[in-house]
Amino acid sequence: MNKQIGLLVFFLMLGTLTVAQHKPHFDYDKLLTRIDLSLRKGNKKALRDLGTLLDVSDYKEKVLHLFKENVIFPDREISLNGQTTKQQFLDFYYSEENNIYFSPTAHVFYTEGLENISVDYKIQPIRSLPNSNEASTLRIKSADIYKSLSKGQYELVLQEISDIALIENQEAFEILKKLSEEKMILRAKGEYRKQLSMALVRALSNFPNELSLTRILELLEEGHIPSPAAQKYLTILTNVNLSHQE
């Protein structure tokens, strides 16, 4: 009798182990990939979905990395770090949902409080910043540009374009090129339309490549910049290209 009970217990345990071994594993990597794609498309609810994974310890580092790549939120509103919990983020999200915006130029989410972030680059040239993070600076400045454009604050946009041009890396170039195609710039009011286009042409001329050359030619053909000015910067670009070939 005891032997039969022992066998019964064994088979029950074996069944339990078998079920446990075949329990479906949730694919968080696939979920994070889908969320990342949604974030890049500007889907605000993807922020909420990402926040729900903050309590998944094995994936918290990846979740925080995605937040770092896709948002600019002041610390006074939400501090995203290893101590941030799912509930803390969701409380922030639902209270600020109507104040969260997406910049298609910077590919980043930000809040109305963005202009209140205290950063040194507002009072000194980017290149002189000690220990500055260029990628972070570019994201902030790109978001500032988009927000200023929406408010018609073109003087601020002109300054930000000049600042971005000082950061001579691929990301800065891509931001400037996208801005040169931005309808809010190409349709700006009055004299600012030409000023903004010329500022972008000057900035693009810092990047001697075929894409810069092509875009400046397109702006000339579309009538956004005058011919003499275009020729000046086209000469700069072609001279640089020729010197590289020697």
- Looking at the structure, tell me whether residues 108 and 139 fall in a common domain: no
Residues of the domain holding 173: 130-245
In a domain, 120, yes or no: no
* Confidence band, pLDDT 50/70/90 cuts, at residue 10: very low
Residue 52 has pLDDT above 70, yes or no: yes
**Predicted pLDDT at 222:** 87
* Boundary residue ending a domain (112, 146, 167): 112
- Looking at the structure, tell me whether residues 62 and 141 fall in a common domain: no
Q: What is the mean pLDDT of residues 29-34?
A: 88
| CB of 50 closer than 8 Å to CB of 63 | yes
In a domain, 22, yes or no: no
Q: What is the mean pLDDT of residues 177-191?
A: 88
In a domain, 5, yes or no: no
- Looking at the structure, tell me whether residues 137 and 166 fall in a common domain: yes
The whole model's pTM is what? 0.47
- Looking at the structure, tell me whether residues 166 and 228 fall in a common domain: yes
Look at the chain and report how many structural domains it folds into: 2
> What is the secondary structure of 149-211 as a DSSP string?
HHHT-HHHHHHHHHHHHTS-SHHHHHHHHHHTT-HHHHT-STTHHHHHHHHHHHHHTTS-SHH
Residue 187 has pLDDT above 90, yes or no: no
* Confidence band, pLDDT 50/70/90 cuts, at residue 91: very high
| CB of 55 closer than 8 Å to CB of 21 | no
- Looking at the structure, tell me whether residues 148 and 216 fall in a common domain: yes
Which residue has better confidence, 97 or 208?
97
Q: What is the mean pLDDT of residues 123-136?
A: 48
**Predicted pLDDT at 245:** 37
What is the strand order of the sheet 100-103 is part of? 71-72, 108-111, 100-103
- Looking at the structure, tell me whether residues 151 and 189 fall in a common domain: yes
In a domain, 123, yes or no: no
Residue 50 has pLDDT above 90, yes or no: yes
- Looking at the structure, tell me whether residues 189 and 103 fall in a common domain: no
In a domain, 200, yes or no: yes
In a domain, 215, yes or no: yes
Token representation of residue 239:
């001279």
- Looking at the structure, tell me whether residues 108 and 136 fall in a common domain: no
Residue 94 has pLDDT above 90, yes or no: yes
Q: What is the mean pLDDT of residues 184-210?
A: 87
- Looking at the structure, tell me whether residues 135 and 238 fall in a common domain: yes
* Boundary residue ending a domain (112, 143, 161): 112
